[in-house]
Structure 1
Amino acid sequence: MKAAVITAPGKAVMRDVPLPEPGPGQIRVRLEGCGVCASNVTPWQGPEWMTYPTEPGALGHEGWGVVDALAPDVSTVAVGDRVATLFTHSYAEYDVGAADAVAKLPPFLDGRAFPGEPLGCAMNILRRSDIQAGQHVAIVGIGFLGALLTRLAAQSGASVIAVSRRRSSLDLATRMKAAETVAMEDHGAVVARVRDITAGRLCDRVIEATGKQWPLDLAGELVREGGRLVVAGYHQDGPRTVDMQQWNWKGIDVINAHERDPGMYIRGIGEAIEAVAAGILSPEPLYTHRYPLARLGEALDATRDHPEGFVKALVMMS
């Protein structure tokens, strides 16, 4: 099969490698595509903790495709089932993994891209955020995840304040039913604007969805006393500092909304499927850039650089 290998910072090559065989409890999936996660950007840039070359297909973890082989002890899925996976080497034509680390895709999704992992992640963050109707909810960072959460929070009856740098991101948040948008340019100006919108009360829930220091600082200022700060961004480029005095004084709940239990991820993917079926989520317009596997490097560059109109890149296998 063909698989992508990252051989050095900013360099991806295609290699012919043996077709993987499923071991006990595993299945093999012929991949149709794989989403490109923002968490790939740091390994792509070459942090000191990264080693090269990667294993074939490594970093790709947002795959979907069709089951084409399974171990004799697997009975939960069958050859021919279309699934979203939690496998971790999906920048390749095939990937293998545990049979319980997939979610079956219903017929209404036939022919449609479905990177289940990030869609399930959004549903899990929504659950951990405990958003209620009538609340003011600020979402700091409107990329793919922030856009999904804007839609989900608005659908829950909250008044969403979207905070982001790019004008196109703020326009996207409006389309996703944000009640207000605030340009993330000047720290004090953002806080003042949110105070004005909320009549001085600040926000019941604030979701930080960037994985960067300054937006995390900003999120702490935007949450009201007794509110909830939800860390949805993936912080992987070094330690963070927090204003603990501020957090103590406000008496806020701080939630790390990242899940590691595969069962919780599969639950989230199932909820995402239901949300798409119900018309609550329509993620297709967010898949703005598609690349063949041989152009994975370009997909990773776009995910890093955010060209005009960029929201989410998909790598397609055919």
Structure 2
Amino acid sequence: MQDTLTTEDRAVNTAPQNTMRAAVVAAPKSIEVQEVTLPEPQKGQVRLRLEGCGLCASSIPLWEGREWFNYPVAAGNPGHEGWGVVDAVGEGVENMKPGDRVAALSYNSFAEYDLADADKVVKLPDTLAGKPFPGEPLGCAMNIFKRSDISAGQTVAILGIGFLGALLVQLAKNAGAKVIAISQRDFSLDVAKECGADEVVKMDDHYKIIEKVKELTNGKFCERVVECTGKEWPLNLAGELCTERGKLIIAGFHQDGMRQVNIQLWNWRGLDVINAHERDPQIYIQGIKDAVKAVEQGTINPDKLYTHTYTLNDINKGFGQLTQRPDGFVKALIIY
């Protein structure tokens, strides 16, 4: 085996790269993979050679098309669940170096490379080497759990068992709570059981669900109810499942219009309603750091929830599956 490069090899391997492949949402339900200019890190930034990026349901409206979006979208956008290896740093960056494996809070990660501010990057330990780590949704789960104030002895209902809901089942069980998982798909209820849910209830009939949860809690209902669907009906159902002075945690991303809720019920039961979304990037970063520890310690195990992987060339198919959610689908990753 040759241990050193020849002059010719050096010329080939050190040739500067100035382009990369990136997904561009050119029109609704149409993503093109294009060759675009490789971004250069500016002061305080790092460049990541991405290993992968998660597909997020919050990106479905952009992919499907809405009248308020303009196309084509910036290359790599809306990929925001990327992880990879630092390959270049900008001026003034001291806490990161090329070769560091990281998860990042960045926004154009449906591409081979992306830029991130150095203070919005979290180093990944060697214990997670080779493992996918979409930091943003993992950190989101940790932050929602913290806002939910779940503790041992409580009964917690979680509505919607996708990636987020499944992680919250794991976190609530680890905290010593009794967990009731409520979801539409039989497959997602099976996932909830595997994640430790004590009871599972099919999300089909509004009043049947209320009676079932009432029965499971001896008429007391739940101290904590976490809504993960982003839909109006489950949000109203969540209020019905809360006990008096319980906490209703809105974890679903409600982005497609106004909501009507039963505020009379919320008033009567004296509910604390917590909108568990964060906008401060540093809170997101702390959530990602907490997720690193939780995965290391086995508090959460996301590996079994990564059910589908696609290449950049297959990203349209990935979005189609994300929208349809066939049996077996929990979380999809684009792997480069």
| TM above 0.5 | yes
4+ residue runs of structure 1 moved beyond 4 angstroms?
Answer: none
- Picking from 318, 322, 331, the partner of 1:299 is 318
State the distance in 1 between where 2:32 and 2:91 align. 34
1:167 counterpart = 2:186: yes
State the distance in 2 between where 1:211 and 1:45 align. 17
State the distance in 2 between where 1:311 and 1:111 align. 20
1:192 deviates by 0.3
Q: Give 1:313's aligned residue.
A: 332
1:195 counterpart = 2:199: no
- Picking from 164, 169, 172, the partner of 1:145 is 164
TM-score normalized by the length of structure 2 = 0.94
1:190 deviates by 0.3
Equivalent positions of 1:1-318 (< 5 A) are: 1-317=20-336
| Contact 2:157/2:225, CA 8 A, preserved across alignment | yes
Q: SS of the residue aligned with 1:206?
A: strand
State the distance in 2 between where 1:76 and 1:258 align. 28
Q: SS of the residue aligned with 1:255?
A: strand
State the distance in 2 between where 1:7 and 1:236 align. 22
Q: SS of the residue aligned with 2:156?
A: strand
State the distance in 2 between where 1:81 and 1:59 align. 24
The one-character-per-residue Cα deviations of 1:135-160 (angstroms, maximum 9, x if unpaired) are 00000000000000001001100000
* Partner amino acid, structure 1, of 2:250: V
* Partner amino acid, structure 1, of 2:97: A
Gaps of 5+ in 2: 1-19
State the distance in 1 between where 2:290 and 2:97 align. 22
The one-character-per-residue Cα deviations of 1:27-64 (angstroms, maximum 9, x if unpaired) are 10000000000101111111111111000000100000
The one-character-per-residue Cα deviations of 1:222-253 (angstroms, maximum 9, x if unpaired) are 11110000000001111111111111111010
* Partner amino acid, structure 2, of 1:311: V
The one-character-per-residue Cα deviations of 1:246-269 (angstroms, maximum 9, x if unpaired) are 111110100011111111111111
TM-score normalized by the length of structure 1 = 0.99
State the distance in 2 between where 1:148 and 1:165 align. 17
Q: Give 2:8's aligned residue.
A: none
State the distance in 1 between where 2:313 and 2:236 align. 39
- Percent identity reads 56
| Contact 2:248/2:273, CA 8 A, preserved across alignment | yes
Equivalences, count: 317
CA RMSD of aligned residues (A): 0.6
State the distance in 2 between where 1:212 and 1:47 align. 17
* Partner amino acid, structure 1, of 2:202: A
